[in-house]
Amino acid sequence: GIKGNPVAFIAMFLGMGVVGAMVMRLLLGFSTIPSLLFFVGVGVILPYLVLRRARNKRIARFATQLPDALDMIVRSLRAGHPTSVAIGLVAREMPDPLGTEFGIVSDEITFGLSLEQAVRKLSERVGFEGLNLLAVSLSMQAKTGGNLTEILSNLSKVLRERQKLRLKVRALSA
CA distance linking residue 22 with residue 27, whole number of Å: 8
| Pick from 133, 158, 144, 156: nearest CA to 77 | 156
Percent of residues, the chain, with pLDDT higher than 70: 98
Q: Is the pLDDT of residue 63 over 80?
A: yes
Residue 141, pLDDT score: 84
Output the pLDDT for position 29: 87
Tell me: cis bond preceding 34? Omega within 30 of 0 counts: no
- pTM here is 0.80
Per-residue pLDDT tens digits for 83-125? 889 999 999 999 989 999 999 999 999 999 998 999 999 999 9
